[in-house]
Structure 1
Amino acid sequence: MTEDPIRAEQTLAAWTRIETWLRKHAPRTFERLPEPTTEDRLRSLEQELDLTIPADVRAFYLLRNGTGPASDFDWPTSREDPEPTGYFLPDGEGVGPLEDLSMWFEGPVAAERLDDAPGQRYLPITTIDPDGFYGTFVDCTPGPGYGLLGGYAEADIPSPGKTTFAAFLTEVADALHEGRGFGGVDAPRVIEGRLDWR
């Protein structure tokens, strides 16, 4: 927990750089970024799910309640915008609004489904589809893995990772500003004012 302020600051710095890039190069994506959530909503989610949200994830949600409007993460997706802008992270992932996280939590990464590790508290934060069946979670289990990201898929046991949300956002910001891909993903491109990074 002593790294919490550092991770929060890293998130703030990285996200500021991401928004700066979006404003200049992908204005349609930038304009659809949602307003922040509130501390009260974050605390309410923590109580509902019986976990503590890591400081870097908390810092992000206090800046933006996801990477696109809530309609981008609904199923079916909004008819007003048939190509949602909220899934602009590498591999077509998007950070869902706080209100969707409790629904995703009950899905493939629910603690009660991990028979061999019933105490695990994995909170999904990114997805590649409105159902939330595939994406990235943050480990909210007290202990050495707390705050690390991992991957999940509907039919698989979640796989822990080795990086933090703050480090991930920093890598995204670096790649955008340097015009390069990372982790097997090609360099970002902009289509009609939208960032499309798949």
Structure 2
Amino acid sequence: MTDERIRAGRTRAAWARIETWLEENAPRTHRRLPAPATEGRLRALEQELDLRIPADVRAFHLMRDGTGPASDFAWPVSHDDPEPTGYLLPDGEGIGPLEHLGQWFEGPVADARLDGRPGLRYLPITTVDPDGFYGTFVDCTPGPGYGLLGGYAEADFPTPGETTFAAYLTAFADALCEGRSLLGQRAGVTDGRLEWS
């Protein structure tokens, strides 16, 4: 089995644990999870942004197209929704739907200053708000860093990371299901919604 298939399988397993925990402990958050994306929509995004989405990120979007409804990630922010729950990851991050991924970065970044690889291709995965100025990206550049997560911030160079999306979701699932902290925060539930503190 290839590394990509292994990571896709780990993503599916981790997300199944997360959904089970949400359904049992945070039903209001669980009810607001979006429907899956389609393979056709993923291929269209790859063509539009001229990159190949790693298998673990693809596997996630084929289960859920983000961690909350598109309205939670739209700009301007809608005040019609009293309970935006899409930012359910630690540090107030959320995984937006495919329709917002290209908007956050306005396409992939090409900057050879980071590690000498020409034509870097980064795809934003998480954000902390609808502006999309801060969050996590996945490296879609063919080569050694392909599939690794990194961080991005407005007016700063992206920072490459050392872990995969599958590993991050597994740590997230462990934190929920085993009561562990993640990024210095512990999961809790208020009025049926997941919150980190």
TM-score after normalising by structure 2: 0.94
Q: State the partner residue of 1:30.
A: 30
In structure 2, what is the Cα distance between the partners aligned to 1:146 and 1:97?
Answer: 21
Q: State the partner residue of 2:109.
A: 111
Question: Match of 1:59, SS?
Answer: helix
- 74-83 vs 122-131, which deviates more? 74-83
Q: State the partner residue of 1:187.
A: 186
C-alpha contact (below 8 Å) 1:29/1:194 kept by paired residues:
yes
Q: State the partner residue of 2:137.
A: 137
C-alpha contact (below 8 Å) 1:111/1:118 kept by paired residues:
no
C-alpha contact (below 8 Å) 1:77/1:84 kept by paired residues:
no
Aligned partner of 2:191: which letter?
E
Note the alpha carbon deviations across 1:62-96, whole angstroms, 9 max, x for none.
00000000000012333332341000101110000
Q: State the partner residue of 2:21.
A: 21
Q: State the partner residue of 2:8.
A: 8
In structure 2, what is the Cα distance between the partners aligned to 1:85 and 1:38?
Answer: 23
Q: Where do residues 5-84 of structure 1 align in structure 2 (5 Å cutoff)?
A: 5-84=5-84
% identical aligned pairs = 71
In structure 2, what is the Cα distance between the partners aligned to 1:130 and 1:118?
Answer: 30
Question: Match of 1:136, SS?
Answer: strand
In structure 2, what is the Cα distance between the partners aligned to 1:78 and 1:14?
Answer: 31
In structure 1, what is the Cα distance between the partners aligned to 2:4 and 2:176?
Answer: 25
Deviation, 1:187, is 0.8
In structure 2, what is the Cα distance between the partners aligned to 1:115 and 1:2?
Answer: 28
In structure 1, what is the Cα distance between the partners aligned to 2:133 and 2:112?
Answer: 19
C-alpha contact (below 8 Å) 1:149/1:160 kept by paired residues:
yes
Q: Alignment RMSD, CA only?
A: 1.5
Deviation, 1:157, is 0.6
Deviation, 1:111, is 1.6
In structure 1, what is the Cα distance between the partners aligned to 2:121 and 2:182?
Answer: 28
Aligned partner of 1:162: which letter?
E
C-alpha contact (below 8 Å) 1:67/1:86 kept by paired residues:
yes
Deviation, 1:180, is 2.2
Does the C-alpha gap of structure 1 residues 56 and 148 become closer, same or farther in structure 2, counting only changes over 3 Å? same
Aligned length: 194
Aligned partner of 2:109: which letter?
A
TM-score after normalising by structure 1: 0.93
Q: Runs of 4 or more off by more than 6 Å in structure 1?
A: none
Note the alpha carbon deviations across 1:20-76, whole angstroms, 9 max, x for none.
000011000000000000010000000000000000000000000000000000123
Deviation, 1:174, is 0.3
Note the alpha carbon deviations across 1:80-135, whole angstroms, 9 max, x for none.
3234100010111000000001111317xx424x3636510010010001011100
Aligned partner of 1:196: which letter?
E
